[in-house]
Amino acid sequence: MPTYALRLVRVTGRLLLSLAAVATLVIVFLALIALTDGAGSGLAAWLTTLAAGVALALWRGRRRPWPARLVPFLPVVVAAALTAAVCVPAVPTARQYPPALPFVTTQHWSLATGSRVAVYHYPPANSGARHPVPFVYLNGGPVRGISVLDHRFLQLLAHQGYDVYAYEQAGGGRSDPLPMGQYTISRSVHDLAAFIDRLGKGKVDILGFSAGGAVLTRALADPSVAARLHRAIIAEPGPMDGPTAHLAGHKGRESARGLAPAMAGPRSTHLPRYGVAFGLMRLGLLTPDTGLVGQAEGDNAFTAADLGSDTASAYCARDAHRIPTEDTPRNFSFSPAASLRIQQTVKDSPSIAARLKHSRTPAMLMIAECSSQVRQWATAVLADDPAVRRTQYLPGVGHHMWNGLDDNNDRAAAVITAFLEDQPAPLPNSPTRDEIPAFLRDHR
């Protein structure tokens, strides 16, 4: 073999060894991040990895002449530079709340539970008939701000004579955060009861959407909370308890996930610090209360684009190339750690089926044709709650049923108002309890 070829082989071999050393140190760093739960903003893992790398470099260079002793340190320097980016905040570490909305006043209510929540009120704008019972909206998330798209839908209901109230659950949007250990599904239910008491207008009609639907379902299973409810609308609910959360099943008709263009805008997950933090949290390798990224910093960093295909999954495949902008960048707010924490408390909770069977609050279930939710999450509510009077299966819409496309807002509002006013349903009552097996078998 020619001399130049031998040199090329040696150089390539040394380069590959150096790259392997860098990769090994990075893997060790990530493992230590998980083992230390990101202690000290990741510095504990970084310093330990650096010390290990320096010790190994000293050992490898111990018999080399002085200039050559520096060569083993190059992978350590590269790995240290790469991993240091995980330890340095790129956004403010104190909570930065969204600015006020131009079309509605943000109130802040202190609840008896200790939560301080942002409240929005849309008085009935219709000069004609007004619904006498206050209407409360529980948004999804579970710890997320109310989107502008949802605010427009609430305005539509107010224009139809409803006295509409909505609040962002603790830690979401403009509401004050809680210590991480206080984010539980039970706390969400207690906050709902405390909000109704603070409203002080007697029983309320309530619409719970997605994760808000799960909170509402659990409220119906608690007699002390259910006593505050006049009528309940459970729209596209998340799992109501641990056994339901662990159910395996199909979802609705094809959604726009994987078909819609990638969401535009900056992503925090493209930065090493937040890509590592949110990725390891999602994998369960970091706790929501991790020392790597604090709750406030994580909330500030997370963007709408970070939701990726989750947004597209809330729309039908046919709408993949006309998905509306759900929110403005300034209003968008999502707390990934607190949301994961609440979801985990749902998964860890015992069955509420026996308690739900005693529910007497008149209820309606709303299901979307192209739902991204596991169907058994909704059918479990229908099967276990004897007070569900009607089910409305909305064709042509995805998980986000009131989405501003075509006449979808009007159709969703018609379904809701018909139930609240005890009028005939605009859609067939389907599926009924007896139809659940066929509904699931037909993969509707």
Bridge partners of 166, per DSSP, are: 120, 137
pLDDT in tens, 9-59: 555 655 677 688 788 888 999 999 999 999 999 999 999 998 988 888 777
pLDDT of amino acid 75: 80
Q: Is the pLDDT assigned to residue 101 strictly greater than 80?
A: yes
Bridge partners of 366, per DSSP, are: 235, 392
Q: Is the pLDDT assigned to residue 78 strictly greater than 80?
A: yes
Closest to 222 (Cα-Cα) out of 360, 347, 412: 360
Q: What is the mean pLDDT of residues 407-416?
A: 97
Looking at the fold, whether 147 and 257 belong to one and the same domain comes out as: yes
Instruction: Give residue 114's pLDDT band: very low, low, confident or very high (50, 70, 90).
Output: very high
Looking at the fold, whether 236 and 322 belong to one and the same domain comes out as: yes
- 437-443: long-range contacts at Cβ-Cβ below 8 A with a sequence spacing of 24 or more? 439/375, 439/379, 440/249, 440/250, 440/375, 440/376, 440/379, 443/250
End-to-end CA distance of the chain: 67
Looking at the fold, whether 132 and 40 belong to one and the same domain comes out as: no
Looking at the fold, whether 120 and 175 belong to one and the same domain comes out as: yes
Residues 169 and 209 sit within 8 Å (Cβ to Cβ): no
Residues 215 and 339 sit within 8 Å (Cβ to Cβ): no
Looking at the fold, whether 21 and 55 belong to one and the same domain comes out as: yes
Q: Is the pLDDT assigned to residue 1 strictly greater than 60?
A: no
Residues 9 and 2 sit within 8 Å (Cβ to Cβ): no
Looking at the fold, whether 38 and 128 belong to one and the same domain comes out as: no
Evaluate the CA torsion angle 171, 177, 181, 185 in order and state its sign: negative
Looking at the fold, whether 112 and 78 belong to one and the same domain comes out as: no
What is the bridge-based pairing of β-strands 116-122 and 107-110?
antiparallel
Specify the CATH number for the domain of residue 243: 3.40.50.1820
Within-domain flag for 385: yes
- Residue 385 has which token pair? 């709650």
Question: Structurally, how many domains does the chain consist of?
Answer: 2
Q: d(Cα 206, Cα 137) in Å, to the nearest integer?
A: 6
At residue 3, what are phi and psi to the nearest 5 degrees? -60, -40
Looking at the fold, whether 72 and 115 belong to one and the same domain comes out as: no
- Assign 136 to helix, strand or coil: strand
Residue 28: which domain range? 3-84
pLDDT in tens, 241-276: 999 999 988 898 999 999 999 888 889 989 999 999
Within-domain flag for 296: no
Within-domain flag for 269: no
